[in-house]
Amino acid sequence: MPASASGKLQFRSVTVADIDAVMVIERASFASPWSRQFFLQELQAANSRSVLCYSDGEPIGYVIYWELVDELDIHNVAVHPGHRRRGVGRAMLEGLIGSAAERGFQRMTLEVRKSNDAAQALYRSLGFEFCGLRRGYYSDNGEDAWLMERRLHA
């Protein structure tokens, strides 16, 4: 497991008690962040799941996703800017990929901004492939999103 700053990465589900820390990461990561209320609704949704990554007791990243019949649909991935380029996002996603495969899910999907080359490179390095385009997907500026997919079983 990669280390972030001085400690090993640890993982657990996001709880309501984590929302303030998650909002700090969210606001630092996105020009149009999700609202606190949206995160609270996500935590209550029947299909919604999450991974919170922390180091030395400090939350530094998260993934929000939905479990659908035979696929995981990733809704949001964020790493605090002070912890980027240290393998945090990769570690969260590798853990999620392994867990999904073990549990019998067939594929994982996500949308990513066409302009987000860094995220696209990470996803491609983890076996995700471009499989579609969602025109005008992002409501803040109408940017298109690439739909990416990773098959988990042949």
d(CA 97, CA 45): 21
Q: What's the pLDDT score for residue 53?
A: 97
Is 2.120.10.30 the CATH classification of the domain at 3-151? no
Question: Catalytic: 123?
Answer: yes
Q: What's the pLDDT score for residue 1?
A: 40
Among all chains, which residue has been given the structure tokens 């007791």?
A: 57
Question: Catalytic: 111?
Answer: yes
Q: What's the pLDDT score for residue 2?
A: 46
Domain locations in the chain as residue ranges: 3-151
Among all chains, which residue has been given the structure tokens 């590798």?
A: 94
pLDDT tens track for 60-107: 999 999 999 999 999 999 999 999 999 999 999 999 999 999 999 999
Structure tokens at 112: 């990513």
**pLDDT band, very low/low/confident/very high, at 5 (cuts 50, 70, 90):** very low
pLDDT higher than 70, residue 120: yes
| Candidate list 54, 62, 65, 123, residue with the active-site label | 123
pLDDT higher than 80, residue 55: yes
